[in-house]
Amino acid sequence: MRKVYTLALIAFLLNSAVAFGQTTGGRSEPQFTTDLDAFVRDILTKLPDIPGVGVVVVQGDRVLLARGYGMADREAGTKADADTMFYIASSTKSFTGLAAALLDREGKIKLEDPVSKYTSGFSMKQSVPDQVTIRDLLIHTSGLRNSALGFRMAYSGQSDPKDMAKVFADGTSFNDGAYGKYSYTNLGYNIYAVLLQDHLNKRWQDLLQERIFDPLKMKHTTAYISRAKSKKWSVAAPYIIDPITGRSTRSPLPKTDSNMQSAGGMFTSASDIGRWLLMNMNDGRLDGKQVIPAEIIRAVHKGYTTTTRDAPPFSGNGEYGLGWQIGKYKDEKVIYHHGGFPGYRAHVSFLPDRKVGVAVLVNDGAAGGMAADLIATYAYDSLLTGANVDGEYAKRLEDLSTSFENGKKRFMDGFAERAKRPWQLTKPSAEYAGIFENDLFGTMKVASDGKDLIVSLGNMKCTATAFTDKETIRVELIPGTGEVIKFALGADEKVESLTYLGAVFKRKS
């Protein structure tokens, strides 16, 4: 259902017809920051389900604005500020891509090497063809498939390095017809992390800390959520919409060290992501120093494969670099990579020719995504044209608010309608309880409290609801999605297995 109202909201993010003028646009910097500040506050008023927002705008080699708004944690009463850390999901790919480029320069894992060069330590059930390179992994053209690897790393958290090595070796297959064609997925970055661990005995989290976070002096950024907690840093909690009450509620799938992954596994702050943007916009220079070689920055910003994006605000034909999308915003080149996970959304982008960048971090999984994009384009349009865009954006915000409320009502109505479904299970609920295992996807537990079935898989847990087919239940182990579990009975009429995400889990107890 989340996709339904997300699509409805997207329809209201219309492109402005105003062309860019001078970089300063005739508007003073204080006026720009005052207006942007007011717009963000207006968004939080009009969309009260959004708990908190972190915003940073950079230009040239300076930060124009870096602030936090609203609440980082409603239950704890913690307000968001410029150092509050938000989960940025797939925006992590640009960091991993840069780290891979640095290792390539040092000859440690070469981007043009075949993946097979680094698989000698694995007993591969299906070999990876020599034509597939490390670069293919990072630009989404590898043609490789392995749904279990990404699932464990991003969601269930059953991702011990030894287990991931086995899942990689046993579950990876190759689709010749897909090779060389861009198909966005987390898998390539997940495989890169497995190869990095095996070849250099290095965790991707530590690589980013040593090669990027520390040199850039990103003091409130980490790929270990345990580190943030031990240092008592402000961390934005994730929020989603409760389908019963329609209110914003804490997501049941928090991020832990075990489900932080190389394709999407970082917490960072508005202040720190501003430093990241400044470094990228200035060919690796930051604070007057060359912290990353300029040729490396140019290499990660280069397009290696063509793409087509249908999601505003940067829709249309483009390219993909090393962890960066490359496209157009109106007539301007834009380099960006957004990220989303239940309870979080990140917009990270910059206009290289204008040397202007914006990042918006939100701890909301519903209206937050569209709000983040709206804030970013308001900043670009307001700063670069100097025109008064407040009237236009006030209308966009009203449309967004109305569409979101309508979408939320449909979401709640859909949930209420599903709650009326009769159960299609033929046995008492206790007979479906047990531990079920799949060699690739891990261990699932089904428990009965006498009335409901509670399903858990690593970090994920939910109460099942009825589905329409015999011997099935509906679960939302990933919040905002709907997945079906189908039980299979043996000759003795006892439950012997279940199928989830197309994988068969055999009952162990």
Q: Check residue 235 and report its DSSP letter.
A: B
User: In this model, does residue 453 exceed pLDDT 60?
Assistant: yes
Mean local confidence (pLDDT), 366-394: 93
Q: Which helix (H) or strand (E) holds 271?
A: helix 270-281
User: In this model, does residue 371 exceed pLDDT 80?
Assistant: yes
What sign does the CA torsion over 214, 219, 225, 228 have?
A: positive
Neighbours of 335 (CB within 10 A): 25
Taken as a whole, the chain contains a residue count of 509
Q: Whole-angstrom Cα distance, residue 287 to residue 216?
A: 9
pLDDT digits over 175-212, tens only? 999 999 999 999 999 999 999 999 999 999 999 999 99
pLDDT at 491: 95
User: In this model, does residue 445 exceed pLDDT 70?
Assistant: yes
What pTM was computed for the model? Answer: 0.93
Looking at the chain, the whole-number percentage of residues with pLDDT higher than 90 is 92
Looking at the chain, the whole-number percentage of residues with pLDDT higher than 70 is 95
What is the amino acid identity at position 13?
A: L
Q: What is the mean pLDDT of the chain?
A: 93
pLDDT at 71: 98
451 pLDDT band, cuts 50/70/90, is confident
Domains of the chain: 2-88+224-259+266-410 (3.40.710.10), 98-203 (1.20.58), 429-507 (2.40.128.600)
pLDDT at 426: 96
Mean local confidence (pLDDT), 93-110: 98
Peptide bond into 293 cis (omega under 30): no
User: In this model, does residue 3 exceed pLDDT 60?
Assistant: no
25 pLDDT band, cuts 50/70/90, is low
Q: What are phi and psi of 405, to 5 degrees?
A: -65, -40
Nearest to 145 by CA among 190, 114, 100, 109: 190
User: In this model, does residue 220 exceed pLDDT 70?
Assistant: yes
Q: Give the pair of three-digit tokens for residue 6.
A: 């997300």
Name 453's bridge partners: 448
Nearest to 432 by CA among 363, 505, 360, 356: 505
Q: Which helix (H) or strand (E) holds 52?
A: strand 52-59
User: In this model, does residue 10 exceed pLDDT 70?
Assistant: no
Q: Check residue 129 and report its DSSP letter.
A: P
Mean local confidence (pLDDT), 252-259: 96
Residue 450's SS3 state is coil
Contacts of 492 (CB under 8 A, 6+ apart): none
Mean local confidence (pLDDT), 226-233: 96
H-type helices in 47-159, by residue range? 93-105, 134-138, 147-151
User: In this model, does residue 7 exceed pLDDT 60?
Assistant: no
User: CB of 93 within 8 A of CB of 62?
Assistant: no
pLDDT digits over 298-338, tens only? 999 999 999 999 889 999 999 999 999 999 999 999 999 99
Mean local confidence (pLDDT), 152-169: 96
22 pLDDT band, cuts 50/70/90, is very low
Name 87's bridge partners: 267
Nearest to 342 by CA among 462, 228, 244: 462
Q: Whole-angstrom Cα distance, residue 107 to residue 296?
A: 13
pLDDT digits over 102-145, tens only? 999 999 999 999 999 999 999 999 999 999 999 999 999 999 99
Residue 24's SS3 state is coil
Name 326's bridge partners: 319, 335
Q: Whole-angstrom Cα distance, residue 182 to residue 135?
A: 12
